[in-house]
Structure 1
Amino acid sequence: MTATRLLILGAVRERGSAHGYQVRRDLESWGVHLWGNIRQGSIYHGLRKLEGEGLLEVVPTTAPAAGPTRTSYGLTEDGERAFVELLEDALRSDEAGLAETIAGVGFITELTRERAIELLRLRVDAYRRRRARVVDEYDRTADEDWGHHVEAVRLWARTADSAVEWTQDLVQRLQDGAYTMRGETRGETRGAAAGRSVTPAGTPSRGR
């Protein structure tokens, strides 16, 4: 639900105000249906729930000449704060799910370049700390028979390594001026590092 909340708030925020059909069309245009499990019903339910929580409010709209009257929503001050908090958590946390992370990346240009880089570096640090704890425990119990459960540790470690590598790569691209971030004029800081490679973090040595 965290990814859905972020996506709905972000979609409404980008338009200034939006009704459910507009939110659905925007999410589809962003390819959310390819990686997220967000159905049409979840969007309308999410809009009503966010309104009930005081994060969205109904805004007046002009009645259409034809077709159904639609309820449009805009962000409240609390909704704006919630959007920023969800966005920053999605980029900073090593515990964010894949859908939440992808949703956060989709709105990363709503942050300043410095803030985005700061959050992504915190993400790398968090992954490295948790990875060290996992691998240390794995090494400490080397004499125990983990059986097939050791594959879960290996999978998590590889996943963490991949997340660190991707995050470092994105940090480098942002440092080199990729994308137009909050407070910047389009193209003024765009760099040429889109293809820069980053050395992957290490992986557990045992069992490879």
Structure 2
Amino acid sequence: MSVQTTRLLVLGIVRLRQPTYGYEIEKELKSWNSDRWAGIARGSVYNQLKSLVRTGMLEFDSVSQTGKMPSKNLYRLTEKGDNEFFDLLHAILNNQQPQPLDMLPVLCFLPSLSKQEIIESCQRRITRITAFLNAFDNQMKQWFPDDSDTLYLQEIFWLEQEAFIAERRWLEDFLERVNAGRYHFSADGNTSRTTI
């Protein structure tokens, strides 16, 4: 996944745990297996923290030290960081060209969003995925005529097709669980300043 995904995850964890420090953020990401599905390397969390402080999205809350352990910088989200967190969430939710698995970071922060927003975003995503799947066979014929020297590359697209079929099925099941009240979302529907 991208630098934007790392940024979203770091901002989101700071938002959940503030004030917090780098090691705690790393532990949380590891507990979510984000190193596997988001490709977040150990050093990228600390690089992201530095970048977020430099751009005014995080601020130092305090410095903590326990015994002879090294001191820890505690971070807190700024208003600019909170806005960036929601902008990144909404960018994924409203992506015109969704990619398989790009919803994973959003799922980490479901309680930050309103139920209605999740429902509408997932319905739009299902529509976009369905449009992709409906156009898939014709698109493949254009990209890979029978005399193509690169027919083996079709496997990449067939894998993507299967991933979208699975995601569409999951989205439909997920919406059933959301509508059944299985999860808690921001109560007021105002996602711009919802605290968890």
Q: Which interval holds the TM-score relative to the shorter structure? A: 0.7 to 0.9
Equivalent position of 2:98 in the other structure:
95
Q: What is the aligned counterpart of 1:54 among 41, 53, 56? A: 56
Amino acid at match of 1:148: Y
Distance in 1 (alpha carbons) for counterparts of 2:169 and 2:91: 19
Q: Which runs of 4+ in 1 moved over 6 A?
A: 140-143
Distance in 2 (alpha carbons) for counterparts of 1:11 and 1:111: 15
C-alpha displacement of 1:41? 1.1
Contact 1:92/1:120 (8 A) holds in 2: no
Amino acid at match of 1:177: G
TM-score normalised according to structure 2 size: 0.80
Sequence identity, in percent?
A: 26
Equivalent position of 2:192 in the other structure:
none
C-alpha displacement of 1:83? 0.7
Contact 2:100/2:160 (8 A) holds in 1: no
Higher relative contact order (CA 8 A, sep 6+): 2
Distance in 2 (alpha carbons) for counterparts of 1:118 and 1:30: 26
For the residue of structure 2 that corresponds to 1:18, the secondary structure is coil
Q: What is the aligned counterpart of 1:16 among 15, 18, 27? A: 18
Equivalent position of 1:80 in the other structure:
82
C-alpha displacement of 1:115? 1.0
Q: Between Structure 1 and Structure 2, how many residues are aligned?
A: 183
Q: Any gaps of 5 or more consecutive residues in structure 2?
A: 189-196
C-alpha displacement of 1:143? 6.5
Amino acid at match of 1:178: R
C-alpha displacement of 1:54? 1.9
- Tell me how large the CA RMSD over aligned residues is: 2.5
TM-score normalised according to structure 1 size: 0.76
C-alpha displacement of 1:170? 0.8
Contact 1:6/1:86 (8 A) holds in 2: yes
Distance in 2 (alpha carbons) for counterparts of 1:96 and 1:141: 19
Residues 1:17 and 1:161: Cα distance change in structure 2 (over 3 Å) = same
